[in-house]
Amino acid sequence: MIIVFDLDYTLLNSNKFKIDLAKNLGISINKFNKDNKKYFFNNKYSVFKHIKILKSKKIFNEKVAGKKIKLLLKNIDKYLFPCSEKVIMQLKKRKYTLYLLSFGDKIFQKQKIYNLKIKKYFNKIIITDKSKGLYANYFNKKNEKIIFINDNAKESRIINKKNKKCRIILIDGPYCQNIKHNYKIVKSIKFLSSNI
């Protein structure tokens, strides 16, 4: 069986990460969210591009911010949801094939994933700045059962339409109810072991 995981809001506490990201950029979370909406479209946020935007507005020193962000990314494991590593390790021990399929700015997502200790458990890591639905065909070629673990119902529906045999499990989060659906929703990653 193949289990495909999303990263943000699924394995990673992205809300907590964004709050600390804003602090390290020297701005409020409200300013961070406003900038995100204004400058970054389709959830393709990049802290590196954000630093350049803030520098152009003479908000802070780029070098200082760069060092802080580098340290924040180096310690990204502290933003994993409790039990993320334990659950993934258990699934790996059960001989499941594990994928990480992450959407966003490729450079920023790559930096986040590069520093995660859990990356070693995944058979393959895919980072895309296009629709995850494009990868449904990739998984269609696999002759195995597929479970997709995500926090975004709309994104999951796109994958499910292109891959009918894919079972969806949603992690309760800000996007798990962004469309009407009948997908199973679990409160957190720790409930996965009993639902697979």
58 and 132 both lie in a single domain: no
164 and 86 both lie in a single domain: yes
In the three-class reduction of DSSP (H, G, I as helix; E, B as strand; rest coil), residue 25 is classed as: helix
Identify the weakest region by mean pLDDT among 12-26, 129-143, 154-168.
Answer: 129-143
63 and 154 both lie in a single domain: no
- Residue 143 pLDDT > 90, yes or no? no
Q: What is the pLDDT of residues 64-82, one digit of tens each?
A: 788 899 999 999 999 999 8
- Residue 59 pLDDT > 70, yes or no? no
Candidate ranges 28-32, 40-44, 127-131; pick with highest mean pLDDT: 28-32
pLDDT of residue 41: 78
pTM over 0.95: no
Q: Is 58 left (phi over 0), alpha (psi -120 to 50) or beta?
A: left
CATH of the domain at 125: 3.40.50.1000
CA distance to 45, 73, 84, 118, 166, per residue, from 77 (Å): 19, 9, 10, 8, 29
Print the domain residue range for 37: 14-77
125 and 39 both lie in a single domain: no
pLDDT of residue 63: 78
Quote the CA–CA distance of 183 and 170 in Å, as a whole number. 7
Mean pLDDT (the chain, rounded): 90
Q: Which residues fall within 8 angstroms of residue 59, CB to CB, at 6 or more apart?
A: 26, 27
Q: Is 148 left (phi over 0), alpha (psi -120 to 50) or beta?
A: beta
39 and 87 both lie in a single domain: no
129 and 84 both lie in a single domain: yes
**Consecutive H or E run containing 166:** strand 166-171
pLDDT of residue 150: 95
pLDDT of residue 74: 95
In the three-class reduction of DSSP (H, G, I as helix; E, B as strand; rest coil), residue 84 is classed as: helix
Contact 111, 73 (CB under 8 A): yes
67 and 88 both lie in a single domain: no
177 and 105 both lie in a single domain: yes
pLDDT of residue 130: 86
Q: How many domains does the chain have?
A: 2
7 and 23 both lie in a single domain: no
Quote the CA–CA distance of 72 and 24 in Å, as a whole number. 8
153 and 176 both lie in a single domain: yes
pLDDT of residue 179: 95
pLDDT of residue 113: 96
